[in-house]
Chain A
């Protein structure tokens, strides 16, 4: 393996990394802080605390995959790097959930879009959840710092055609658009961010904060599932975790107990509420798992006259916020417009159909272009979000009802996306909807979108951004943690991931998680050192 690979080099140099599937005996370990989860939140926390001289143990349910494993292959990547082998869905099966499960979490598989939390979102939090200290001016230094740490800057290379068509359509229609800031260093512009960056260009947790923490003596257990936080009086005493077998699906039977002064949960907006619920963490107002948000996503595909090759090139480089906050922060549902990469396995799973029709649709892949809308949920009384609860086996599941308010937004988003694609020269457009035919003109599409039923399962819905479920706020009756991610009732518990967002973000959330985790970890380090 290349000696430039940060992980390979670190492992050789003696990083304290344990693959829990190799453990044969029950065991107990102790540190100042145990961090559950190694994604955007856990990685940031680990590096800051370890650099402050605290002893840190990181726990990751997924396995450690790095450059040697990233071979630009969809089927392998979906099976190994994503939650439930890419089959995760909401409780009724109507919304597909894309979420990482590996060291680095979703930052290992995301498409590198790195937006600051929009100012209207931060101000909405201050006005509605008492989070005065998170106003844009207060958060600015944290965004600055994290953009530097993760090498975030607008993508200066020409967008691929898939993205440029979004730009062209917006230009024609007079919609605003802009270039997406990406967290990459020396990117080869290949297009495989979603299956693990093959060149180590992506500056997610895997190549930045995790190595930073391990360099500073942090200890990482991967393939280790956090089962339960065990309380002793009013504090958490230890974490009980199960080693997973090498298949990463079945527990091996080996139990690991991890003791610490402080526990940081950063197991995602589905995993964190799940762990807290399994642990019977005090929740007098029944807030854990409530107000879960997902940026519900719908999509259209267009057949373009020229070859698009939507599988190559930086997957996301152009976006439009024309419709995101246009009706006010708390008006009818706003949406951000972006573009997804289209590879064969993903496309064949996203484009609904079978038989000759499906064959003929997929044959068009090189000429296909797609636009997605990400709905900003959680800013309106009719968008209260979903609920994370536990299945009989203790695993977390998200129930997400799609309200009429959201259907209205989804229908408007279909209109916008189809109009943009036709404006950019699309020959035909199809909605990702069980009943949608190919539509041959904007007027035909407009009529069809007004007629098609906006119903679960018929409209194909997705989420790549899970947020909330352990919301922050100053009022303990309305929230799980305060504005520093500190649990309202358990003094040695913090939550440092997207689960603390009181609404959705209105933009891809990774930089929001990095920045808040950095701010809250810096404070935590001060407290624990002091």
Chain B
């Protein structure tokens, strides 16, 4: 098989027009993907609690939004999004990624129904084999995607001339970056010392904990 060309070359002007015609924000198109994904064996229910064998963080966390496929998606993407900021030590690295995915799930739960629906469409598009290959141009299933392949995918969506892809890039990186860099254990990566100690010592809400 010949190497897939860059999406900006592949998506001809006609493709682009029909993509945009599919509705503002691609709603119609992505909606179809969601239905198709459900009919074709993609995981469509929240993952709940993962088996101990399936997660490096056995903290009993119950996934309320992310499906098992979504979790695989983020296991493939996070090494490209936040990987360079992570330790190379394999166990800690896996734990940091697993913890970030849990916080992504927690965050999305608070997003509420409307934005959850948008993210469902995005994740289904990326998880469903046909659209993963034709739209995201990712040839392997996510568990088999290398970090450099994940990075190439993110770069394609970031530099794409199609707003919908830019939007997808922002959505994926923003929820990942916030869940990762916003976590107290990772504050040191941005040189943030945390709230001033003296204030915490003086304030009642920190003394009741």
Q: Is the CB of B83 within 8 A of A355?
A: yes
Q: Is the CB of A74 within 8 A of B182?
A: yes
The segment from A85-93, A289-297, A492-500 found at the interface with B is A85-93
Q: Is the CB of B103 within 8 A of A94?
A: no
Within 8 A of A (CB), among B166-209: 166-167, 169-171, 173-174, 176-184, 186-187, 189-192, 195-196, 199-200, 203-206, 208
Contact with A along B24-67 (1 / 0, CB 8 A): 11000000000000000000000000000000000000000000
CA distance A92 to B118 in the complex (A): 11
> Is B135 interfacial (CB-CB < 8 Å)?
no
> Is B90 interfacial (CB-CB < 8 Å)?
no
The segment from B1-9, B11-19, B106-114 found at the interface with A is B106-114
Q: Which of B25, B114, B190 contacts A363 (CB 8 A)?
A: B190
Q: Is the CB of A345 within 8 A of B181?
A: yes
In this complex, the member of B83, B85, B108, B195 whose beta carbon has the largest number of chain A beta carbons within 10 angstroms is B195
The segment from A136-144, A151-159, A216-224, A454-462 found at the interface with B is A454-462
Q: A71-B206, A352-B173 are in contact. Are A344 and B195 (CB under 8 A)?
A: no
B100 to chain A, nearest CB (A): 12
Q: Which residue of A has the minimal Cβ distance to B204?
A: A2
> Is B76 interfacial (CB-CB < 8 Å)?
no
Q: Is the CB of B190 within 8 A of A362?
A: yes
B123 to chain A, nearest CB (A): 14
Chain B contacts for A89, CB-based, 8 A:
115
Q: Which residue of B has the minimal Cβ distance to A435?
A: B159
Contact with B along A161-186 (1 / 0, CB 8 A): 00000000000000000000000000
CA distance A427 to B144 in the complex (A): 42
B24 to chain A, nearest CB (A): 6
> Is A231 interfacial (CB-CB < 8 Å)?
no
Q: Is the CB of B166 within 8 A of A345?
A: no
Within 8 A of B (CB), among A78-127: 78-80, 84-85, 87-89, 91-94
B172 to chain A, nearest CB (A): 8
> Is A190 interfacial (CB-CB < 8 Å)?
yes
CA distance A248 to B111 in the complex (A): 10
Q: Which residue of B has the minimal Cβ distance to A199?
A: B203
> Is A436 interfacial (CB-CB < 8 Å)?
no
A357 to chain B, nearest CB (A): 9
CA distance A355 to B200 in the complex (A): 33
Chain A contacts for B191, CB-based, 8 A:
363-366
Q: Which of B113, B170, B190 contacts A393 (CB 8 A)?
A: B113
A218 to chain B, nearest CB (A): 26
Instruction: Indicate the size class of the contact surface on chain A.
Output: 35 or more
> Is B158 interfacial (CB-CB < 8 Å)?
yes
Chain A contacts for B166, CB-based, 8 A:
434, 457-458
Q: A91-B25, A344-B192 are in contact. Are A198 and B205 (CB under 8 A)?
A: yes
CA distance A457 to B174 in the complex (A): 13
Q: Is the CB of B182 within 8 A of A363?
A: no
Q: Is the CB of A358 within 8 A of B81?
A: yes
Chain B contacts for A74, CB-based, 8 A:
182
Within 8 A of B (CB), among A315-362: 343-345, 347-349, 352-356, 358-359, 362
Q: A71-B206, A349-B174, A395-B113 are in contact. Are A355 and B80 (CB under 8 A)?
A: yes
Instruction: Indicate the size class of the contact surface on chain B.
Output: 35 or more
> Is B143 interfacial (CB-CB < 8 Å)?
no
CA distance A67 to B199 in the complex (A): 13
Looking at chain A's contact residues, is the secondary structure mostly helix, strand, loop, or mixed? Answer: loop
Q: Is the CB of B189 within 8 A of A359?
A: yes
Q: Is the CB of B158 within 8 A of A434?
A: yes
Chain B contacts for A395, CB-based, 8 A:
112-114
> Is A129 interfacial (CB-CB < 8 Å)?
no
Chain B contacts for A92, CB-based, 8 A:
24-25, 163, 167
Q: A84-B111, A247-B109, A354-B154 are in contact. Are A362 and B181 (CB under 8 A)?
A: yes
Q: Which of B154, B189, B203 contacts A198 (CB 8 A)?
A: B203
Q: Is the CB of B189 within 8 A of A192?
A: no
Looking at chain B's contact residues, is the secondary structure mostly helix, strand, loop, or mixed? Answer: helix
CA distance A358 to B180 in the complex (A): 12
Chain A contacts for B111, CB-based, 8 A:
84-85, 87
Q: Is the CB of A188 within 8 A of B205?
A: no
Q: A347-B190, A359-B189, A434-B158 are in contact. Are A457 and B181 (CB under 8 A)?
A: no
> Is A1 interfacial (CB-CB < 8 Å)?
yes
Q: Is the CB of A93 within 8 A of B114?
A: no
Chain B contacts for A366, CB-based, 8 A:
191-192
CA distance A68 to B171 in the complex (A): 32
Chain B contacts for A458, CB-based, 8 A:
166
Q: Which of A72, A84, A364 contacts B195 (CB 8 A)?
A: A72
Q: Is the CB of B173 within 8 A of A353?
A: yes
Chain B contacts for A73, CB-based, 8 A:
184, 195
CA distance A101 to B27 in the complex (A): 27
CA distance A358 to B172 in the complex (A): 14
Chain A contacts for B167, CB-based, 8 A:
92-94, 457
> Is B151 interfacial (CB-CB < 8 Å)?
yes
CA distance A192 to B203 in the complex (A): 13
Q: Is the CB of B85 within 8 A of A70?
A: no
CA distance A75 to B194 in the complex (A): 13
A443 to chain B, nearest CB (A): 26
Nearest first, the 4 closest Cβ-Cβ pairs linking A and B are A345-B182, A85-B110, A457-B166, A348-B181
26 contacts between A and B (CB under 8 A): A1-B208, A67-B205, A68-B205, A72-B200, A75-B179, A79-B106, A79-B110, A85-B108, A87-B112, A92-B25, A93-B170, A198-B205, A199-B199, A249-B112, A343-B192, A344-B189, A344-B190, A349-B177, A353-B173, A358-B173, A359-B82, A362-B181, A362-B190, A363-B189, A391-B114, A455-B163
Which chain B residues have a beta carbon within 8 Å of chain A's beta carbons? Answer: 24-25, 80-85, 103, 106-115, 118, 151, 154, 158-159, 163, 166-167, 169-171, 173-174, 176-184, 186-187, 189-192, 195-196, 199-200, 203-206, 208
Additional A-B contact list (19), CB under 8 Å, known A92-B24, A348-B181, A354-B81: A2-B204, A68-B205, A69-B205, A71-B195, A78-B107, A85-B112, A87-B107, A87-B108, A93-B167, A190-B196, A192-B195, A198-B205, A344-B189, A352-B170, A354-B82, A355-B83, A391-B114, A434-B158, A457-B167
